[in-house]
Structure 1
């Protein structure tokens, strides 16, 4: 009899059970009392009793249902061996496993070949085309993190299946909207061969002025950690870490949400920000990010702007409570609006056992007009 992987609710370890045993467990968990509270950092079980496997994810609401998309993590590698998972919920606490929304490919040489790096998938719905549009950070199999691409897939249904369309770098041959004659004149005088040594004051200033922007102009700008955002007017934006993770880019999407429009801006040049999560409150745009320390957690950063195009101002760490100096041991991935409530979502990475990575969900409060994320061991969420 065929076996299936199962995550032990007690230990969080992966064991093998038969299909018949898996079915009985699913029936058992379906009969259990429903969860009413969120407990960050613990095992979060779906309707079959398995730990939710949707890391680096984001959530989309369609109708009366919330859909959670995230990376399927294997037990021993962070490479994509399955693809993007989808879960559905009516209350944001109890989740049904909808299966794989986007499968990696077994075709050799495919952009999304099994073993590639596929991270931080986000899905948004286009009301005009009726399509569900998925974007994600993509690194080609066997190429490390050198490709620095974004990938795009599309579906007619929220849970998929999604059809992979293409991957590429961002805005080739295009300058940011804030680059006028003065900025372009400075770029013309720059020679990257004059900056062999990194991290010097001169190098930092050159980065700020666009040294790596110029380097990648022909091939397209790097696109790594990312999120998507739909503004009140229906315009959508792709926010991603670029220029060797030194600078964030905010790029406007075309009306079908499947390409860049060619308009983009740079945020915090040389600031080394990744893991962007964005929201708007009372006309002000807020963005929470992290520093660049690999899988290790670090102190969250926060920025605000009166327009999606800036200017963006940095603020102190919004986190409060135990381990706030390392974002409670996690890294930002998404900010979910639920009515007037805003939920900060983050991942606690476990690179030695990727599938056992955990989730942090905490309400965002405001103090003196600025967002605050305060640790709570347990809290109740109402979608009303």
Structure 2
């Protein structure tokens, strides 16, 4: 009996040890469990950092949701690997009498330090994608609940896929795709973040899924072709100013991979004591089983005007030093 007890204890210890190791590794394209063991549901999302915590917001697509509502989830982490589910930050019924199958996509949250308010933007639309507006909701807590405020067309333009960008000086921008203009806009938010103050640039390329980062004196912009749920070769351009001019767009990965079956949603910069890592955040959509859609996060090879998305592999991140490295790389 003692031998059996000892054996079971050893097995249990090994399982705990294995799980602890796994929690330090990001595995692109695999299920990503939260603190409760459930696959993270934060699709088309965005991340903000507040003190020692990162907050990840996204489309809540778990099974069994009330179809009369749309949901935005909130997760919290200290290391970008282990995430605690903070609940549904937004639970919204049809806000503009849009009818069945109305759309809430790509939620992004900003924190306004002057008003001490969390401001959420999202793509709001009807089933035929004719409304083409942004919706705005606010909260006094990062995990919500958020309250719907209004919807509008930024710069009086059609707006579908949206992205967010917060520059190194703290200035907040909305990035949105506008189909009639065959490009995507970069627009500065107003002081209270509740509206758009001015146009900064129209990036003249028919792309969606816009993501921007400022790295070593250059701005990098990534976009996805207009193919809906179907993945395609994402491309990037650079500029010394957000206002442009922007360089010619180039592929971030071998075109045949269709960005490794993913679509860009954000680039996240992690600055540590030793180096800075820029993480490519993308969704691997599964339209027929959206709750099982996956995430492709990988550290980018970036600098001197070049940007490359390496082949996805398990990798580790040291949040304190900013160092990232592939686990069990074939080159090792």
Structure 1-normalised TM-score? Answer: 0.73
Could you tell me which of 32, 36, 58 is aligned with 1:48?
Answer: 36
Structure 2-normalised TM-score? Answer: 0.84
The aligned residue for residue 332 of structure 1 is 264
CA shift, 1:367, in A, is: 5.8
Is 1:313 paired with 2:247?
yes
Structure with the higher strand share, 1 or 2: 2
Is 1:101 paired with 2:89?
yes
Is 1:90 paired with 2:74?
no
Residues 1:277 and 1:109: Cα distance change in structure 2 (over 3 Å):
closer
CA distance in 1, matches of 2:68, 2:233: 27
The aligned residue for residue 238 of structure 1 is 174
1:211-250 superposed matches below 5 A:
220-244=156-180, 246-250=182-186
CA distance in 2, matches of 1:334, 1:255: 23
Residues 1:381 and 1:324: Cα distance change in structure 2 (over 3 Å):
farther
Contact conserved, 1:74 with 1:81, CA < 8 A, in 2? no
CA shift, 1:74, in A, is: 4.8
CA distance in 2, matches of 1:377, 1:51: 19
CA distance in 2, matches of 1:69, 1:307: 28
Residues 1:95 and 1:109: Cα distance change in structure 2 (over 3 Å):
closer
CA distance in 2, matches of 1:95, 1:72: 15
Contact conserved, 2:200 with 2:242, CA < 8 A, in 1? no
CA distance in 1, matches of 2:39, 2:100: 22
Could you tell me which of 146, 152, 155 is aligned with 1:162?
Answer: 146
The aligned residue for residue 180 of structure 1 is none
Is 1:118 paired with 2:98?
no
CA shift, 1:356, in A, is: 0.6
The aligned residue for residue 57 of structure 1 is 45
2:106 partner SS: strand
The aligned residue for residue 226 of structure 2 is 292
Listed as ranges, the gaps of 5+ residues in structure 1 are: 1-27, 172-219
Which one is further off, 115-124 or 83-92? 115-124
CA shift, 1:286, in A, is: 0.5
Contact conserved, 2:216 with 2:303, CA < 8 A, in 1? no
Superposed CA offset, 1:163-216 (max 9, x none): 111011122xxxxxxxxxxxxxxxxxxxxxxxxxxxxxxxxxxxxxxxxxxxxx
Residues 1:109 and 1:84: Cα distance change in structure 2 (over 3 Å):
closer
Q: CA RMSD in A?
A: 2.4
CA distance in 2, matches of 1:89, 1:375: 25
Could you tell me which of 139, 145, 159 is aligned with 2:125?
Answer: 139
Residues 1:76 and 1:351: Cα distance change in structure 2 (over 3 Å):
farther
Is 1:33 paired with 2:20?
yes
Listed as ranges, the gaps of 5+ residues in structure 2 are: 1-14, 321-332
Residues 1:314 and 1:363: Cα distance change in structure 2 (over 3 Å):
same
CA distance in 1, matches of 2:46, 2:247: 25
CA shift, 1:291, in A, is: 0.3
Residues 1:111 and 1:86: Cα distance change in structure 2 (over 3 Å):
farther
CA shift, 1:97, in A, is: 0.7
CA shift, 1:331, in A, is: 0.2
